[in-house]
């Protein structure tokens, strides 16, 4: 039996609180019941699900009764019929088509590229320099996704791409949050400026497609070639627009989340000396100064625990939303078509019910069989069911490799007194970036403070 609750008082006020401070709101609501009615919008009810089994009911047991929530519906205007935002039969067809590109056997071949591109990034780092590490991680993740998925070397203005994606993320969230519609002239002008900047991304993507179409076959085994070669039963191929939708989805979904996870991990390491020492000790023991390979990943046990703990405290995907397409029963409760359900990784991962001292950074909690001792969806950084993150293994390998390459050479030390705060946009960012001093490790590691 699940506990239900309904927030008392004026419901619009709760929604306003949710929209203004979502992390604080969701953490509070988590304590109130397994399923909490937080408000109504246009006659449709809005619930927050706080029990792992209910998350499973929605994502795994009844996925076809739901479509994506409002934020991704809005993102769909730009991402088109991409894997992340398409629904139903189209989604299933795309998932079947793209899945092989993400199989462990296939992504193993990316380890070398991930390591060498990280090493190349370090060529521009100088001992003692202060850098925006969030920016560095974004640029690197973008570089890696381009190279591994599209065989494309980034020559574009990465700064501009980052700004466009951030602006787009802010626009989506603002629209999803809008309790009342913006006056139409204001909405139209914001929409026009967003469209204009997004045209720059389209230009990059369409150029990639055109270049590859011009090249002779057979040289590439990447996602782009696979999409170009994919044929329907009737022999027809995907149009440029259909391919563009997939590429832009992977381009965005495939780098921002990883970059945020890495930035949060560097921040956490810089605040916890013991964890940092254990991380270094493992790198020295397993790698002894050489670049990590795919085969090394299982041996980097503590590094993987660090990533898991970082994604527990600061999950890049901090909330999943779904809207019911039809009447459906969840946790014994009738949900009407049009109702919205939110499930928050951020709140669930900090629940006292499943985690001892949930606010404490303690990578060792992910030792051995820990995940088997908590309900499956008490930890769900990559979602679940048929829409589980297709890039989860890619992301785990990439973050481990980048941490290992950088961590062998540098200590990253927090710079400045500015408080590090999460900013929940489409992904969970560090508000205002992450300023860090990069110090060469070498023989100085024991004396650095």
C-beta atoms surrounding 223 within 10 Å: 24
Q: Is 389 in the site for ligand HEM (CB under 6 A)?
A: yes
Backbone φ, ψ for residue 134 (5° rounding)? -65, -40
Triad 378, 65, 372: Cα angle to 5°:
20
Query: Do 51 and 2 form a contact (C-beta atoms < 8 A)?
Result: yes
Q: Where do the H-state alpha helices sit in 288-391?
A: 301-313, 345-348, 370-373
Applying CB under 6 A, among 45, 56, 68, 134 the residue interacting with ligand HEM is 68
- Cβ distance to ligand HEM smaller for residue 14 or 366: 366
Q: How far apart are CA 101 and CA 110, in angstroms?
A: 11
Candidates 39-47, 257-265, 335-343, 432-440; binding stretch for ligand HEM (CB under 6 A): 257-265
CA 251 to chain centre: 12
* Minimum separation from the CB atom of position 322 to ligand HEM (A): 8
Strand partners, 372: none
- Cβ distance to ligand HEM smaller for residue 387 or 409: 387
Candidates 201-209, 237-245, 254-262, 436-444; binding stretch for ligand HEM (CB under 6 A): 254-262
Applying CB under 6 A, among 138, 257, 265, 323 the residue interacting with ligand HEM is 257
Query: Do 214 and 48 form a contact (C-beta atoms < 8 A)?
Result: no
Q: Minimal CA–CA distance to 317: which of 383, 264, 387?
A: 383
C-beta atoms surrounding 227 within 10 Å: 25
Candidates 190-198, 251-259, 292-300, 335-343; binding stretch for ligand HEM (CB under 6 A): 251-259
- Cβ distance to ligand HEM smaller for residue 363 or 383: 383
* Minimum separation from the CB atom of position 26 to ligand HEM (A): 15
C-beta atoms surrounding 17 within 10 Å: 17
Q: Is 387 in the site for ligand HEM (CB under 6 A)?
A: yes
Q: Minimal CA–CA distance to 55: which of 314, 355, 375, 444?
A: 375
Applying CB under 6 A, among 110, 280, 318, 394 the residue interacting with ligand HEM is 394
Candidates 25-33, 169-177, 363-371, 376-384; binding stretch for ligand HEM (CB under 6 A): 376-384
Query: Do 20 and 43 form a contact (C-beta atoms < 8 A)?
Result: no
Query: Do 78 and 366 form a contact (C-beta atoms < 8 A)?
Result: no
Cβ partners under 8 Å of residue 169, min gap 6: 256, 425, 426, 427
Residue 322 is inside which H or E element, if any?
Answer: strand 320-324
Query: Do 262 and 399 form a contact (C-beta atoms < 8 A)?
Result: yes
Instruction: Please list every residue from 140 through 159 that binds ligand HEM, using CB under 6 A.
Output: 145
Q: Is 341 in the site for ligand HEM (CB under 6 A)?
A: no
Candidates 12-20, 324-332, 387-395, 409-417; binding stretch for ligand HEM (CB under 6 A): 387-395
Instruction: Please list every residue from 304 through 333 that binds ligand HEM, using CB under 6 A.
Output: 316-317, 320
Applying CB under 6 A, among 390, 412, 434, 438 the residue interacting with ligand HEM is 390
The 3-state DSSP class for residue 298 equals helix
Applying CB under 6 A, among 261, 310, 344, 408 the residue interacting with ligand HEM is 261
- Cβ distance to ligand HEM smaller for residue 151 or 381: 381
State the first-to-last Cα distance of the chain, in angstroms, to the nearest integer.
52
Q: How many residues bind ligand HEM (CB under 6 A)?
A: 24
* Minimum separation from the CB atom of position 56 to ligand HEM (A): 13
* Minimum separation from the CB atom of position 408 to ligand HEM (A): 21
Backbone φ, ψ for residue 422 (5° rounding)? -75, 145
- Cβ distance to ligand HEM smaller for residue 52 or 254: 254
Q: Is 297 in the site for ligand HEM (CB under 6 A)?
A: no
Q: Which residue is nearest to ligand HEM (CB)?
A: 391
Position of tokens 């199989």? Answer: 103
Q: Is 83 in the site for ligand HEM (CB under 6 A)?
A: yes
Applying CB under 6 A, among 29, 71, 250, 328 the residue interacting with ligand HEM is 250
Applying CB under 6 A, among 382, 409, 430, 434 the residue interacting with ligand HEM is 382
C-beta atoms surrounding 121 within 10 Å: 18
Instruction: Please list every residue from 210 through 249 that binds ligand HEM, using CB under 6 A.
Output: 249
Strand partners, 56: none
Candidates 194-202, 352-360, 366-374, 378-386; binding stretch for ligand HEM (CB under 6 A): 378-386
Q: Give me the residues that bind ligand HEM (CB under 6 A), please.
A: 68, 83-84, 95, 145, 249-250, 253-254, 257-258, 261, 316-317, 320, 381-383, 387, 389-391, 394-395
């Amino acid at each position: 039996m699940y506990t239900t609750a309904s927030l008392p008082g004026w419901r619009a006020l709760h929604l306003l609180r949710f929209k203004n401070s979502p992390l604080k709101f969701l953490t509070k609501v988590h304590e109130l019941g397994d399923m909490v009615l937080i408000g109504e919008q246009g006659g449709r009810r809005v619930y927050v699900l706080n029990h792992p089994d209910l998350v499973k009911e929605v994502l795994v047991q009844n996925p076809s009764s739901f479509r994506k929530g409002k934020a991704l519906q809005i993102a769909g205007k730009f991402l088109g019929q991409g894997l992340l935002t398409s629904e139903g039969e189209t989604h299933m067809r795309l998932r079947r088509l793209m899945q092989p590109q993400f199989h462990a056997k296939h992504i193993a071949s990316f380890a070398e590229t991930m390591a060498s591109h990280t090493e190349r990034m370090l060529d521009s780092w100088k001992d003692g320099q202060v850098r925006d590490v969030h920016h560095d991680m974004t640029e690197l993740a973008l570089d890696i996704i381009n190279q591994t998925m599209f065989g494309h070397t980034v020559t574009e203005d990465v700064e501009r791409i980052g700004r466009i994606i951030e602006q787009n993320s802010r626009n989506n969230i603002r629209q999803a949050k809008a309790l009342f519609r913006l006056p139409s002239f204001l909405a139209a002008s914001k929409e026009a400026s967003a469209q204009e900047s997004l045209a720059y991304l389209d230009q990059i993507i369409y150029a990639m497609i055109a270049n590859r179409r011009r090249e002779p076959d057979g040289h590439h085994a990447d996602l782009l070639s696979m999409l170009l070669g994919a044929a329907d039963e009737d022999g027809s191929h995907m149009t440029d627009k259909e391919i563009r939708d997939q590429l832009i989805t992977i381009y965005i979904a495939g780098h921002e989340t990883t970059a945020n996870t890495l930035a949060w991990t560097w921040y956490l390491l810089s605040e916890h000396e013991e964890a940092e020492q254990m991380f270094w000790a493992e790198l020295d023991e397993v790698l002894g100064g050489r670049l990590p390979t795919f085969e090394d990943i299982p041996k980097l046990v503590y590094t993987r625990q660090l990533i898991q703990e970082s994604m527990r405290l600061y999950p890049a995907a901090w909330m999943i939303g779904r809207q019911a397409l039809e009447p459906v029963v969840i946790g014994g409760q009738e949900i009407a078509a049009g109702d919205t359900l939110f499930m928050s990784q951020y709140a669930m991962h900090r629940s006292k019910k499943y985690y001892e001292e949930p606010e404490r950074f303690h990578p060792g909690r992910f030792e051995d069989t820990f995940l088997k001792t908590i309900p499956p969806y008490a930890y769900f950084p990559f979602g679940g069911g048929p829409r589980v993150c297709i890039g989860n293994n890619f992301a785990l390998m990439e973050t481990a490799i980048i941490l290992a390459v950088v961590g062998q050479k540098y200590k990253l030390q927090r710079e400045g007194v500015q408080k590090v705060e999460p900013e929940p946009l489409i992904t969970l960012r560090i508000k205002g970036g992450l300023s860090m001093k990069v110090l060469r490790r070498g023989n100085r590691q024991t004396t650095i403070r």
